[in-house]
Amino acid sequence: MALVKEANAHGKRLKVVGGGDSYNDIFCPEEGGILLSLKVMDRVLEVDKRLNRVTVEAGIMMPDLIRYLKKAGLSLSNLGTNIFDNLAGACSTGYHGSGINYAIFSSFVTAFEIITPTGEKKHIEKSDDAFAIYAVGLGVLGIITRITLQCEPYFRLEVVEKKMPFEQIEAEFDQLLAENDHFKFIWVPHTKDFMVWLGNRTDKPRSSAYKKFMTYFTTGLLINNLFHEFLLFFASFRRSLVPRINRLMSRILLPEYSESVYDAHWAFFLPHLLKQDVVEYAFDIKDTFKVFKEVIAMIEEKGIYVDTPVEVRFVKGDNYWMSPSYGMDSCWIGTKIHFPYYRHPEYQRYFTEIDTILLRYRGRPHWGKQFRITTGDFKRTYPKWDAFWRYADQEDPNRILQNGFIRRLRDLEE
């Protein structure tokens, strides 16, 4: 609280960093400003086994939280493929997994404790009207210090991965959504290869340690990361190699049919070491296949080489003002470009084309990833846009928690 009051008194900007994993500058302070790390605020404060709830300091990293919960016999109900984020940062930017019965990660929060931009302590319960504002706060409403999460008893997932023709995915889409706890699919660009990923809670015994080793170390780390990066290094000099590399990786990595049973967090997790840049958008689930077909056609028509699968996930709608899933069950489409051995192939044209397509469908970008859209676009896609910023300015009259990233969002003068 003293640091916040000092920033107000001396007109300094203050930004909080969690894991520092965002693909943009949402957490970067101004020149001469203050960067506050929550790294040491990582304690588990309370576990309520009766309600399956845990209260933690907001700086805890997901792997540490997952390990503690496992010891307590608890699990997080849904996770994305990256489980190395900071908890507060994940809540602030709309972190999500896949499964139409599960909303973004903030939906598992039952209470926040926050230091306001004027240096006061505030406690916000999920039942409070203000929770809809704070659930995805973009770091501008205060410094989150404590979070209470709703968990569930520890569980395992049976994961089925199988190739499926695109036409079949579209025809069986409603059934795939309704009959599985977790469902997503991927497409390998420059091929006709699609894979469906299904995850369901199970009492079946875990797969063997050998299978887990082969999945996460041999296939995941050695082949999908190190070997793939080696191939993409050559493609960084000659991008026309990408389709051949994609076909090879698809033959190696995409199973015709595979069943596995893992502890929940291992089932969600996908090991990924390659340097990359990412764009991801949420949009109304009813437009899933319209958007996806336009993305496929754009890549082919524009002659753009995409060296990584395009992932499609599904998230339950919510009422959080700045959530990309606000007011609608949503499809999230994510794509990326790799930087093998720190080489940077040109990719901005590809990302700009993705922006263009998604704006036609009122798409909302992931707050922690890349986008190039304007304030006017945000106003059209977020019904509570102006109301959120009025509230932010009311809570932070000196705008000490707003940086260049926020000013670009709002189209404010530097």
The model's pTM: 0.94
Output the domain CATH number for residue 9: 3.30.465.10
pLDDT digits (tens, 9 = 90+) for 337-366: 999 998 999 999 999 999 999 999 999 999
Output the domain CATH number for residue 345: 3.40.462.10
pLDDT digits (tens, 9 = 90+) for 308-336: 999 999 999 999 999 999 999 999 999 99
- With beta carbons less than 8 A apart as the criterion, state whether 184 and 98 touch: yes
| Residues 71 and 191 both lie in one domain | no
| Residues 287 and 329 both lie in one domain | yes
pLDDT digits (tens, 9 = 90+) for 242-286: 999 999 999 999 999 999 999 999 999 888 888 899 999 999 999
Q: Residue 56: give the domain boundaries.
A: 2-154+375-410
End-to-end C-alpha distance for the chain, whole angstroms: 27
pLDDT digits (tens, 9 = 90+) for 7-18: 888 788 888 887
Tokens of 316: 């339950």
Distance CA(344)–CA(253), nearest Å, equals 25
| Residues 46 and 180 both lie in one domain | no
| Residues 7 and 126 both lie in one domain | yes
| Residues 149 and 167 both lie in one domain | no
| Residues 118 and 265 both lie in one domain | no
What is the tally of structural domains in the chain? 2
Class of residue 152 by CB neighbours under 10 A (exposed 0-12, middle 13-18, buried 19+): middle
pLDDT over 90 at 31, yes or no: no
pLDDT digits (tens, 9 = 90+) for 186-243: 999 999 999 999 999 999 999 999 999 999 999 999 999 999 999 999 999 999 999 9
User: Which sign does the torsion angle of CA 123, 143, 283, 310 carry?
Assistant: negative
| Residues 298 and 265 both lie in one domain | yes
The DSSP 8-state label assigned to residue 275 in this structure reads -
Alpha-carbon separation of residue 371 from 139, 303, 347, 378 (angstroms): 18, 21, 13, 11
Residue 370, in any domain of the structure: no
| Residues 190 and 336 both lie in one domain | yes
Radius of gyration over every alpha carbon of the chain, rounded to an integer in angstroms: 21
Judged by DSSP in three states, 282 sits in strand
Residue 244: count of CB within 10 angstroms of its CB: 12
| Residues 403 and 334 both lie in one domain | no
How confident is the model at residue 414, as a pLDDT? 56
How confident is the model at residue 362, as a pLDDT? 96
